[in-house]
Amino acid sequence: MPDRLLLDGRAIAGGQWWRALLSSVEHLGPWHLLLNLALLFWFGPLVEQQVGSARLLVATVIAVVAGSALALTFTFWFRGAGASTILAGWLGLALPIAPPRRRRVLLQWALFLVLVSLIPGASPAAHVGSFLSGLLMGLLIREGSHRHPEAHFYWFDRFAPALAVLAGGAVWLAVRLHTAVPPVTLPA
C-alpha cells in the first residue's frame, strides 16, 4: 500500500499536514485510480461549466480538506486515499445549482456514492464531509444567484475564504481531539 500521501492521523499529528489535501491524489491500486480518473474526467467538465475553473479549484480544496477533517474526527487511525472525496464534493456542489432534469441524475449518483462508501476500505466520513461542504457551497451559489442575479457567485466568493479556514481548523481540531488523549488499548 502506498503511503506517501495517505490520510493518516498519526502522520498529520506528526506534522505532515499536507496529507489532509493531497490524500485525494493518492490511490490504493490501479483500479482505484482508473475508476476515479474516469469519473473525474466525466463529471469535472460538467461542474466546471457551471462554476468556472478557479471556483471549482477553490471548492475542490475546501471539500477535500473538509472531508479529511470529518474522516480524522471519526476514523483517526484509518489510512485512506482517493479522489472520491473530490467527486463527493463536486456532487454536493452541483446538486443545488443543476437544472431540475440533471438534478435527478445527480441524485442517482449520490445513491451510488452511498453504496461506494459501504465498500470495505472506503471512508464514509470523508465522503460525507466532502459532500456536505460541497452542498453548502452549492447552496451559497444558488442563493447568490437568486439575490444577486447580476453576480451569481456573490455569496460563494465572500464565504469561500472563511470556509477554507474552517475546514483547515476542523482538521487541526480533529488532530488535537485524538492526540490530546492517549488512545485506549483493549486487553487481549
Query: What are the DSSP calls for 32-80, one per residue?
Result: HHHHHHHHHHHHHHHHHHHH-HHHHHHHHHHHHHHHHHHHHHH-TT--B
pLDDT of the residue at 47: 93
pLDDT of the residue at 182: 64
Number of residues that this document lists for the chain: 188
Q: Is the overall model pTM greater than 0.95, yes or no?
A: no
pLDDT of the residue at 169: 95
Phi-psi region of 64 (alpha: psi -120 to 50; beta: other; left: phi over 0): alpha
pLDDT in tens, the chain (188 residues): 457 888 989 999 999 999 999 888 888 888 888 888 888 898 899 999 999 999 999 999 999 999 999 999 999 988 888 888 999 999 999 999 998 888 988 888 888 888 888 888 788 999 999 999 999 999 999 999 888 888 889 999 999 999 999 999 999 999 999 987 665 666 76
Count of Cβ atoms closer than 10 Å to residue 51 Cβ: 22
pLDDT of the residue at 151: 85
Domain ranges of the chain: 29-76+83-179
Amino acid of residue 71: A
Which residues lie across from 80 on neighbouring strands? Answer: 7
